[in-house]
Amino acid sequence: MTAAVYAARKKSCALLISQDLGGQPNWTTGIENYMGYQFIEGPELMQKFEKQVKQFPLDVKIGQGVSSLSQIGQGFEVKTDGGESYQAKAVIIATGKHPRPLNVPGEEKLRGKGVTYCAICDGPLFADMKVAVIGGGNSALEAASDMVKIASHTYLISLTPLTGDQVLIDNLKNADNLTLFLEQEVLEITGENFVEGIRIRDLKSGQEKELEVGGVFVEIGLTPNSGFMKGVATLNHLGEIEVNCANETGVPGLFAAGDVTNVPEKQIVVAAGEGAKAALQAYRYLQRLSQ
Amino acid sequence: MAQQVKVYSTPTCPWCKRTKQFLDENKIPYQNLDVASDKAARDEMTSKTGQLGVPVVDIDGDVAVGFNENWLRQKLNLQQ
C-alpha cells in the first residue's frame, strides 16, 4: 500500500492488485512499534493505510491473487486467479508471507474444522478441550501460553528442542496442563468432520502415538508468497525474492519489497519503508526508459 | 422488513472486530454472539457452517465465514 501511494504521488499510472488489503498485520492484535501509534491493533492500522490509498487516483483490484508473472518484451504480464491479465513496464512485488502448513494428511480436509493457523483468532473456540500446538519457536510458545489458560490440556509438539526465547519457555514451566513432545514429528491429523486426534512419531525411538485433541494450532513459521513468479527472479533457499538495497531484483523493471524479500527484518515499519523505496526506484527506472 | 444480522465472534479475533466495526460504521444493527463463552452459540455456528472459525456472519439465513466486505455490501444493499 505504501508503494502504491508513492507511485500515485509520482503521477505514475499504477494498478494495485491483491487478495486482500493489509496482509499479515490483519492477523495481529497489538502493535506497539509502528511510529505514531503507541498501541494500535493490526486491522485498524491497515484500515488507516487503506483509507490513505483510496485518497489517490489509483486503480485497485482487491479479492484476487496473482497466479503468474512473466516477462513480455521489455515489460511484464501479470495474470490473476480470476483469469484477468495486465501488462506493465515495471512491477513491484510486495506479497508478504503466509503461515507454513504442516503438509500432513488430514490437514487440508480439517482446515477451519479444528486446524487453525491463528491462535489469537480461534483460541477461545477451544475452551475446555484438549489441543495440540505444533512448533518450537516463539509463535508456538506464545500460542501454548495462551492455550494453557483456555484449553483443558495442551500438547506442545516440536520437531526439534524448543528454539524460542527463554523467557517464553520459562513462562510455561509452571503450567500443569501442558505436556511437551519434543523431537517428535506429526504424521497425520485425524477426524471425520472435525479434528479428533493427531498422530505423532518420536524421531529417536520411532514410536508412534495418537493424542486425542479437538484442535491443532500450526505455528511453524511463515512462507514467502513468491511461488507465482518462480523462474523470473532469483529466490533464496527460503523462497524469498533476493533484492539489493534499491529493491532491484536483477531483472530490469522488477522490484520487490517487504517480507517476501530477503530483507533481514520482517517488521511492518520496515515493509512500509521498503515499499516506498521500491516505488521511488520504479519511478526512476520508468524515467530512464522514456529518455 | 429489517434484515436480521448475527455475528458469531470471539473477543480476541481481529477479523471479528473488523466485521463489527464495518457494521457499526454503516449503522447496521446486529446481534453479537460470543462463541468463546456461549457454547450453544458455538454449536449453532458449527451446525450452520460445518466449520469452527470466526467470524461468521448470518444475514437472514445466508452465511459467510470470515470478513468479506464485498459480500456484506451486496447482502446489506450498501454501495460498493
- Do A248 and A234 share a structural domain? yes
Which residue's C-alpha cell is 487440508?
A108
Question: For residues A94 and A277, is the Cβ–Cβ distance under 8 A?
Answer: no
> Could you tell me the pTM of the whole model?
0.85
User: What pLDDT sits at residue A105?
Assistant: 98
Interface of A with B (CB under 8 A): 26-29, 41-43, 47, 63, 112-114, 116, 120-125, 127, 193-194, 215
Mutate to test the interface with B, among A28, A48, A122 (most CBs of B within 10 A): A122
Tell me the pLDDT tens digit for each residue of A63-87: 889 999 999 999 999 999 989 999 9
Tell me the pLDDT tens digit for each residue of B4-15: 999 999 988 888
Instruction: Give the domain extent around B37.
Output: 10-60
All residues of chain A having their beta carbon less than 8 Å from the beta carbon of residue B42 are 125
Lowest mean pLDDT among A42-46, A126-130, A216-220: A42-46
Residue B4 C-alpha, separation from nearest chain A C-alpha, in angstroms? 24
Provide the domain count of chain A. 2
Active site residue A245: no
- Do A201 and A125 share a structural domain? yes
Cβ-defined contact of B12 to A28 (cutoff 8 Å)? no
- Do A235 and A93 share a structural domain? yes
- Do A138 and A176 share a structural domain? yes
| A132 in a structural domain | yes
Instruction: Give the domain extent around A170.
Output: 115-218
Residue B42 C-alpha, separation from nearest chain A C-alpha, in angstroms? 8
Asked which of A218, A240, A263 is the last residue of a domain, the reply is A218
pLDDT for B69 beyond 90: no
| B26 in a structural domain | yes
ipTM: 0.81
| A43 in a structural domain | yes
| A258 in a structural domain | yes
Cβ-defined contact of B46 to A194 (cutoff 8 Å)? yes
Provide the domain count of chain B. 1
Q: Residue A265's domain is classified under what CATH number? A: 3.50.50.60
Mutate to test the interface with A, among B52, B54, B69, B74 (most CBs of A within 10 A): B52
pLDDT for B18 beyond 90: no
pLDDT for A138 beyond 80: yes
Asked which of A187, A218, A249 is the last residue of a domain, the reply is A218
Per-residue confidence band for A62, with pLDDT thresholds at 50, 70 and 90:
confident
Kindly give, in sequence order, each residue whose CB lies less than 8 Å from that of residue A12, ignoring residues fewer than 6 positions away.
A279, A282, A283, A286
Q: Which of A9, A75, A60 is nearest to A280 (CA)?
A: A9
- Do A202 and A227 share a structural domain? no
pLDDT for A28 beyond 90: no
User: What pLDDT sits at residue A174?
Assistant: 87
The cell numbers describing B29, all together, are 444493527
The chain-wide mean pLDDT, for chain A, equals 94
Interface of B with A in 17-36 (CB under 8 A): 17-18, 21, 35-36
Average pLDDT over residues B29-47: 94
One DSSP character per residue, B44-76 reads HHHHHHSS--S-EEEETTEEEES--HHHHHHHT
Tell me the pLDDT tens digit for each residue of A146-180: 999 999 999 999 999 999 999 999 989 889 999 99
